[in-house]
Amino acid sequence: MKTAKEYINLLPRKEKQSVQLISAWTVCAVLFLLVWVGLFGLKATKLRRLQADLNSRSLQQQHLELELATLRKELGLTSATGGNLSKTALVQSLLKERVLWSQVFQQFSHIIPRGVWFDSLEGSSAGNAEVRIRGGALDYRLVSDFMLGMERSGYFEKPELLFAQKATVQGHDVIEFEIHCGVKKSQGAL
């Protein structure tokens, strides 16, 4: 015989378990949906940032193109595809004849040993590019190291020591020297 408790309970036991399974599936679906919406939001935010970055870069590009056009007008150059080719060739030939003195100083900074200094540096780019250096050093070996560095650099041509002599400056013995050498001209273009 059935107990009164079984009569009061209207749902069978198996159906109660399926209701619990349905609620677990619902929770999982809701969690999945929340994670998916969160990831979608992150991707949408990243897309907006990238679009803003793209817009700013395109504005920069337009600004640089305007500057380039202004510089070309100042130099008397027309478009890169054609136009006034004789002026372009003239500017490029003039640039080949120039000495980029910033490169000369950069080369000096790489090869000058400690204990060597310049008192004067005189450059000429008319005809053959030349540099005349007057300076001092703590000893003769440093002068020869400096000249060896100039020869090895490949940037200076035929360094020549005009003189190196011992002198006394503020009670200290130093070597005064003068070096003359050629400089390779730039291979630059616009």
Indicate which CATH number applies to the domain containing 158. 3.30.70.2830
Look at residue 187 and tell me whether its pLDDT is greater than 80: no
Q: Are 133 and 178 in contact (CB under 8 A)?
A: yes
Look at residue 185 and tell me whether its pLDDT is greater than 80: no
pLDDT at 27 (0 to 100): 86
Residue 20 lies in a domain: yes
Average pLDDT over residues 39-48: 94
The residue count of the chain comes to 190
Element (H, E) at 13: helix 13-75
- The count of domains in the chain is 2
**Whether 6 and 52 share a structural domain:** yes
State the Cα–Cα distance between residues 125 and 184, nearest whole angstrom: 10
The identity of residue 121, as a single letter, is L
Average pLDDT over residues 161-168: 92
pLDDT at 190 (0 to 100): 35
Domain extent for 4? 1-75
pTM, entire model: 0.49
Look at residue 162 and tell me whether its pLDDT is greater than 80: yes
Q: What's the mean per-residue pLDDT of the chain?
A: 82
| Band (189; pLDDT cuts 50, 70, 90) | very low
